[in-house]
Amino acid sequence: MCLKNILFSLVLGTLVLLSCKDNSKKLESTESQDVKIVDTTSIKEQAAVAKEEKFILDEENAIDFFFDYQKDLKVNKVKITTNFGDFTIELFDDVPYHKANFIFLTRKGYFDYTQFHRVVKDFIIQGGNSDDKQTANKRREIGRYLLPPDTRKGYKHHRGIVSMPSSEINNPHMLASPYEFFIVVTKPGSYHLDGDFTPFGKVIEGMDVVDKINAQPVGKGDWPSQNIYITKAEVLE
């Protein structure tokens, strides 16, 4: 009887040890699989974020992008704050690409700390550029593209009209330079510009601030003698 009990105890102990060893292997295997699943998900998420961050506008995708962007736009006013005061622009709904472009750049913060870099007495003030490196960096991050002119909507270059200048670089079709805009100061307007440039909005409040900027002294190339900054541009939601 004693020998049988001893043999039974040995067999039982061996089975317990084998069972523990198998469970340990299963646990290790499960933990290893869990880690791999978490790592794979993380990589996919990081790749998606990186792809979104790297989106840059160019000549190939700009029109499609702004076509989609303007579909759900319910806003049409932008407030421009300068070191001479602020004014409000109302954008025309039937000039969709230029309106969408202006709102997009405003929301991206592009216009903040750019300047009214060109002032022509009793004619225009032109903004959206700067000799600061920060502005060049913003343009590089957003992309390089032009917009087609949209001059057949019946808008004239009356006083207070906001219009978009054309690019001077390889541009026989007078495509618009999307990062800049000009405001007509002339009374009653500068109608010789009609047909060549695209009016896409008008100043509805603060035209006295526009006149004040236009009255500032300028140096060579119509660049103001003292920098005139757009300290903030914001969409009025």
Smallest CA-to-CA distance from 120 within 37, 174, 190, 191 is with 190
State residue 177's pLDDT score: 87
- Residues 82 and 18 reside in one and the same domain: no
Please state, in angstroms and rounded to a whole number, the distance separating the CA atoms of residues 147 and 181.
13
Low-confidence ranges of the chain (pLDDT < 50): 3, 6-7, 11, 15-18, 20-21, 23-41, 50
For 32-36, which contacts have Cβ atoms below 8 Å and span 24 or more sequence positions? none
Answer yes or no: do 2 and 32 share one domain: yes
For residue 218, the domain's CATH number is: 2.40.100.10
Q: Are residues 42 and 88 in the same domain?
A: no
State if pTM tops 0.85.
Answer: no
pLDDT of residue 172: 62
CA distance 183 to 175: 18
Considering the domain architecture, whether residues 158 and 115 belong to the same structural domain is answered as yes
Distance CA 204, CA 215 (A): 20
Domain endpoint, select from 54, 72, 92: 54
Does one domain contain both 83 and 175?
yes
Question: Are 145 and 75 part of one and the same domain?
Answer: yes
pLDDT of amino acid 74: 94
22, 38, 54: which is the final residue of a domain? 54
Residues 120 and 162 placed together within one structural domain of the fold = yes
Domain range for residue 188?
62-235
Asked which of 36, 54, 72 is the last residue of a domain, the reply is 54
Q: How many structural domains does the chain have?
A: 2
| Whole-Å CA distances, 47 to 34, 53, 57, 61, 76 | 20, 10, 19, 21, 35
**Does residue 95 sit in the same domain as residue 40?**
no
If asked whether residues 168 and 81 sit together in one domain, one would say: yes
pLDDT attached to residue 175: 81
Q: Are residues 37 and 99 in the same domain?
A: no
> From the DSSP assignment, how many helices (H) and strands (E) are in the chain?
5, 8
Same-domain status, 46 and 126? no
What residues does 116 pair with on adjacent strands? 127
What pLDDT does 176 receive? 85
Report DSSP state, residue 136.
Answer: H
User: Is 100 within 8 Å of 76 (Cβ atoms)?
Assistant: no
101 & 139 share domain: yes
